[in-house]
Amino acid sequence: MDKNERREYMRVYMEKYRQNYPERCRAWRNKNNRTSTAYWKERVINKFSNGTMECARCGFNDIRTLTIDHIKAGGTQDRRNRRVSNPRMYYRLIIETGTLEEYQVLCMNCQFIKRFENKEHN
Protein backbone atom coordinates (compact mmCIF):
# COMPACT_ATOMS: atom_id res chain seq x y z
CA MET A 1 0.00 0.00 0.00
CA ASP A 2 1.54 3.26 -1.04
CA LYS A 3 1.23 6.58 0.72
CA ASN A 4 -1.84 7.82 -1.18
CA GLU A 5 -3.72 4.54 -0.76
CA ARG A 6 -3.00 4.59 2.97
CA ARG A 7 -4.19 8.19 3.23
CA GLU A 8 -7.43 7.34 1.40
CA TYR A 9 -7.96 4.27 3.60
CA MET A 10 -7.54 6.35 6.76
CA ARG A 11 -9.88 9.06 5.42
CA VAL A 12 -12.64 6.50 4.76
CA TYR A 13 -12.00 4.80 8.11
CA MET A 14 -12.19 8.06 10.04
CA GLU A 15 -15.41 9.09 8.29
CA LYS A 16 -16.95 5.75 9.18
CA TYR A 17 -15.81 5.65 12.82
CA ARG A 18 -15.28 9.33 13.68
CA GLN A 19 -18.22 9.60 16.08
CA ASN A 20 -17.17 6.67 18.27
CA TYR A 21 -13.43 7.06 17.82
CA PRO A 22 -12.66 9.15 20.96
CA GLU A 23 -14.77 6.89 23.18
CA ARG A 24 -13.22 3.71 21.77
CA CYS A 25 -9.70 5.12 22.20
CA ARG A 26 -10.44 6.18 25.77
CA ALA A 27 -11.94 2.78 26.61
CA TRP A 28 -8.95 0.96 25.12
CA ARG A 29 -6.49 3.17 27.04
CA ASN A 30 -8.35 2.63 30.31
CA LYS A 31 -8.40 -1.12 29.77
CA ASN A 32 -4.80 -1.49 28.62
CA ASN A 33 -3.00 1.35 30.37
CA ARG A 34 -0.12 -0.21 32.25
CA THR A 35 1.83 3.00 32.34
CA SER A 36 -0.43 4.79 34.79
CA THR A 37 0.67 5.46 38.34
CA ALA A 38 -2.66 4.09 39.62
CA TYR A 39 -2.00 0.75 37.90
CA TRP A 40 1.42 0.35 39.54
CA LYS A 41 0.18 1.63 42.91
CA GLU A 42 -2.56 -0.98 42.92
CA ARG A 43 -0.08 -3.74 42.05
CA VAL A 44 2.40 -2.74 44.77
CA ILE A 45 -0.31 -2.39 47.42
CA ASN A 46 -1.77 -5.73 46.44
CA LYS A 47 1.66 -7.37 46.77
CA PHE A 48 2.60 -5.87 50.14
CA SER A 49 -0.85 -6.30 51.72
CA ASN A 50 -0.92 -10.00 50.77
CA GLY A 51 -3.92 -9.39 48.54
CA THR A 52 -6.11 -7.79 51.23
CA MET A 53 -5.66 -4.22 49.94
CA GLU A 54 -6.01 -2.74 53.43
CA CYS A 55 -3.98 -0.92 56.08
CA ALA A 56 -1.82 -3.21 58.21
CA ARG A 57 -2.70 -1.31 61.41
CA CYS A 58 -6.35 -0.29 61.20
CA GLY A 59 -7.74 -2.28 58.26
CA PHE A 60 -8.90 0.78 56.27
CA ASN A 61 -9.29 -0.25 52.63
CA ASP A 62 -9.77 2.87 50.49
CA ILE A 63 -6.94 2.68 47.93
CA ARG A 64 -6.84 6.47 47.63
CA THR A 65 -5.39 6.70 51.13
CA LEU A 66 -3.21 3.59 51.17
CA THR A 67 0.54 4.09 50.91
CA ILE A 68 3.71 2.05 51.01
CA ASP A 69 5.60 2.49 54.26
CA HIS A 70 9.21 1.56 54.95
CA ILE A 71 9.03 -0.52 58.12
CA LYS A 72 12.43 0.67 59.36
CA ALA A 73 11.91 4.23 58.08
CA GLY A 74 14.22 5.92 55.56
CA GLY A 75 11.88 6.12 52.58
CA THR A 76 13.20 9.47 51.39
CA GLN A 77 16.77 8.26 51.57
CA ASP A 78 15.83 5.05 49.76
CA ARG A 79 14.32 7.02 46.86
CA ARG A 80 17.39 9.26 46.72
CA ASN A 81 19.76 6.29 46.71
CA ARG A 82 17.82 4.65 43.89
CA ARG A 83 17.70 8.03 42.08
CA VAL A 84 14.02 7.70 41.37
CA SER A 85 11.67 10.67 41.51
CA ASN A 86 8.86 9.25 39.37
CA PRO A 87 6.32 7.35 41.53
CA ARG A 88 5.58 4.90 38.70
CA MET A 89 9.20 3.86 38.42
CA TYR A 90 9.55 3.65 42.20
CA TYR A 91 6.51 1.34 42.44
CA ARG A 92 7.98 -0.86 39.71
CA LEU A 93 11.32 -1.05 41.53
CA ILE A 94 9.60 -1.94 44.78
CA ILE A 95 7.65 -4.74 43.09
CA GLU A 96 10.80 -6.14 41.49
CA THR A 97 13.20 -5.82 44.43
CA GLY A 98 11.20 -5.24 47.61
CA THR A 99 10.47 -7.80 50.32
CA LEU A 100 7.71 -8.06 52.89
CA GLU A 101 10.28 -7.39 55.63
CA GLU A 102 11.05 -3.96 54.16
CA TYR A 103 7.62 -2.57 53.28
CA GLN A 104 4.09 -2.55 54.60
CA VAL A 105 0.82 -0.97 53.53
CA LEU A 106 -0.52 1.78 55.78
CA CYS A 107 -3.22 4.37 55.35
CA MET A 108 -2.03 7.96 55.53
CA ASN A 109 -3.37 8.42 59.07
CA CYS A 110 -1.53 5.38 60.41
CA GLN A 111 1.62 6.33 58.54
CA PHE A 112 1.70 9.80 60.11
CA ILE A 113 0.90 8.38 63.54
CA LYS A 114 3.78 5.89 63.14
CA ARG A 115 6.13 8.68 62.05
CA PHE A 116 5.15 10.74 65.07
CA GLU A 117 5.40 7.84 67.56
CA ASN A 118 8.83 6.78 66.23
CA LYS A 119 10.04 10.39 65.89
CA GLU A 120 10.70 9.87 62.19
CA HIS A 121 9.47 13.34 61.24
CA ASN A 122 11.81 16.25 60.70
- Identify the pLDDT of residue 57: 94
- Identify the pLDDT of residue 89: 85
- Identify the pLDDT of residue 47: 93
Residue 55 CA to residue 105 CA, distance in Å, equals: 5
Task: Report DSSP state, residue 109.
Answer: H
Q: How far is CA 62 from CA 24, 37, 57, 92, 105, in A?
A: 29, 16, 14, 21, 12
CA angle 27–43–68, rounded 5-degree value: 130
Give me the tens of pLDDT residue by residue for the chain, a chain 122 residues long. 789 999 999 888 888 877 777 787 777 777 776 667 888 899 999 999 998 999 999 999 999 999 999 988 888 888 888 888 888 888 888 888 888 888 999 999 999 999 999 888 75
